[in-house]
């Protein structure tokens, strides 16, 4: 049976399904919720949206090139528009017809040359290839080790934040300096009595627009204007500083890494609210005592609610951890997608990169299509790839990024896409002429 199972109906699962369907591969997609959307499905437990949320990646590189977003969408669509777009994409390419909803995968067990897949809806099927696309934002992550002391107020993780009504008239501490932490601190300002924002390091803050364009577009259009990467980054940093987006001018710590060595923080309002006294920046938390929070700088504040925007852990509750090889707390996957110890299991969408969804969604889907074709044909290209994944160490830019949990799966987008295309082409390679006679 040459049928592929896809676990997860977020954007990546839908994108993979589209390419397989168009490539003539039979697909069964299993989604735990009642409809597509993944983190954008705000009404479902898997949703990670809140009322005022907008994308941090612009429309131009979030959309898939051959399926543009509606013309009336703004440069940064809101989460409801993003959900509508994802579902429209699924309808346009026949993915709804291959989906099983309210069908959470409960177990995935090796069996013969494939996997036995069972769901909460009663499915019990064997597949020669399974593609896991259940997403990065699964289990809320809190600071490890926990901060000393005991906090007597309310604790909330970003996963459970739905609107600023939850923090109305509260003294709020937001912990976490990434995009979610910055966005939530800004959102909380609209209703909270006070907002403190705790971060562990210095960050570069990027406005969402420069010269009337989405900042990523403006940066791409710089092209080869400068002779070196260093000159380009210095120019970018100077433009951000001139535009008012240098955190050090607001008393924040200076980053100790290059501007492109961490996932970009796209926020036009955080420094604005710091400058107006609406958000009070703090360093790391030292300890809790009742509702009193002490910070590393020796200062303290009384807080009613701590909102953790400290990330997520990957979670594969249907798969025994011992079946995967692990490194630094995450599965050790070739190209962040391919287990070295399994030839019939792929993981797609488990990557962070400074770019929009569109290119990655298309490239990953086409990689899976070529992999499925090669696997089912047991082609020479497959054999070359299986050898390569055990020995090759392609440069994804991994060593350049700062040392943090979320950056363990950060990659240079263009390097990643180039390598995925190269190995995709390898999978499609025919037998070498004359090899059979040797």
List pLDDT tens digits, range 104-157: 999 999 999 999 999 999 999 999 999 999 998 889 999 999 999 999 999 999
Tokens of 193: 């009595």
Confidence of residue 438 (pLDDT cuts 50, 70, 90): very low
Ramachandran category for residue 370: left, alpha or beta (phi over 0 → left; psi -120 to 50 → alpha): alpha
Q: Where are the beta strands (DSSP E) in 291-394?
A: 292-295, 300-302, 305-308, 312-313, 326-327, 330-331, 333-334, 338-339, 345-347
Percent of the chain residues past pLDDT 70, beyond the cut: 98
Tokens of 347: 């993981």
Reported pTM? 0.93
Q: What is the pLDDT of residue 431?
A: 61
More confident residue, 147 or 438: 147
Domains of the chain, CATH where assigned? 3-138+314-437 (3.50.50.60), 143-308 (3.50.50.60)
Q: How far is CA 57 from the centre of its chain?
A: 12
Q: Are 59 and 76 in contact (CB under 8 A)?
A: yes
Tokens of 79: 């989460």
Confidence of residue 359 (pLDDT cuts 50, 70, 90): confident
Which has the minimum average pLDDT: 156-170, 275-289, 322-336?
Answer: 322-336
d(CA 339, CA 352): 18
Closest CA to 428 of 371, 344, 343, 347: 371
> Tell me: the pLDDT tens digits for 259-316?
988 888 999 999 999 999 999 999 999 999 999 999 999 999 999 999 999 999 989 9
Closest CA to 379 of 417, 405, 343: 343
3-class SS letters over 157-224: EHHHCCCHHHHCCCEEEEECCCHHHHHHHHHHCCCCCEEEEECCCCCCEECCEECCEEHHHHHHCCCC
């Amino acid at each position: 049976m040459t049928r592929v199972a896809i676990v997860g109906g977020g954007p990546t699962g839908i994108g993979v399904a589209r390419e397989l369907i168009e490539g003539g591969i039979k697909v069964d997609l299993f989604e735990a919720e009642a409809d597509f959307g993944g983190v954008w499905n705000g009404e479902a437990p898997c949703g990670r949206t809140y009322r005022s949320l907008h994308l941090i990646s612009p429309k131009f590189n979030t959309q898939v090139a051959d399926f543009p977003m509606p013309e009336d969408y703004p440069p940064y669509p809101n989460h409801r528009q993003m959900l509508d777009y994802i579902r429209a994409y699924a309808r346009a390419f026949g993915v709804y017809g291959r989906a099983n909803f309210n069908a959470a995968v409960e177990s995935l067990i090796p069996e013969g040359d494939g996997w036995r897949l069972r769901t909460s809806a009663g499915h019990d099927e064997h597949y020669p290839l399974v593609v896991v696309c259940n997403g990065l934002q699964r289990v809320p992550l809190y600071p490890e080790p926990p901060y000393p002391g005991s906090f007597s107020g309310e604790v909330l993780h970003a996963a459970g934040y739905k609107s600023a009504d939850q923090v109305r008239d509260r003294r709020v501490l937001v912990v976490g300096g990434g995009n979610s932490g910055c966005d939530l601190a800004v959102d909380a300002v609209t209703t909270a009595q006070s907002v403190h924002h705790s971060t562990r390091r210095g960050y570069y803050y990027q406005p969402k627009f420069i010269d009337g364009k989405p900042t990523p577009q403006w940066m791409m259009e710089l092209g080869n204007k400068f002779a070196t990467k260093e000159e380009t980054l210095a120019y970018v940093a100077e433009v951000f500083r001139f535009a008012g987006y240098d955190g050090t001018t607001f008393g924040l710590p200076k980053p100790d890494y290059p501007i492109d060595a961490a996932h970009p923080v796209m926020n036009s309002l955080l420094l604005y609210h710091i400058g107006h006294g609406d958000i009070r920046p703090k360093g790391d938390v030292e300890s809790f005592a009742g509702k009193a929070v002490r910070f590393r700088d020796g200062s303290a504040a009384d807080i009613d609610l701590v909102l953790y925007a400290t990330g997520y852990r990957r979670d594969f509750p249907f798969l025994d951890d011992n079946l995967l090889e692990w490194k630094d707390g995450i599965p050790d996957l070739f190209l962040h997608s391919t287990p070295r110890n399994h030839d019939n299991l792929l993981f797609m969408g488990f990557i962070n990169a400074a770019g929009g969804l569109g290119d990655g969604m298309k490239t990953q889907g086409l990689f899976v299509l070529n992999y499925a074709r090669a696997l089912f044909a047991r082609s020479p290209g497959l054999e070359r790839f299986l050898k390569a994944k055990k020995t090759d160490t392609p440069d994804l830019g991994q060593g350049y990024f700062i040392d943090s949990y979320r950056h363990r799966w950060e990659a240079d987008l263009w390097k990643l896409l180039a390598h995925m295309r190269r190995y995709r082409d390898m999978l499609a390679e025919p037998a070498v002429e004359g090899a059979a006679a040797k």
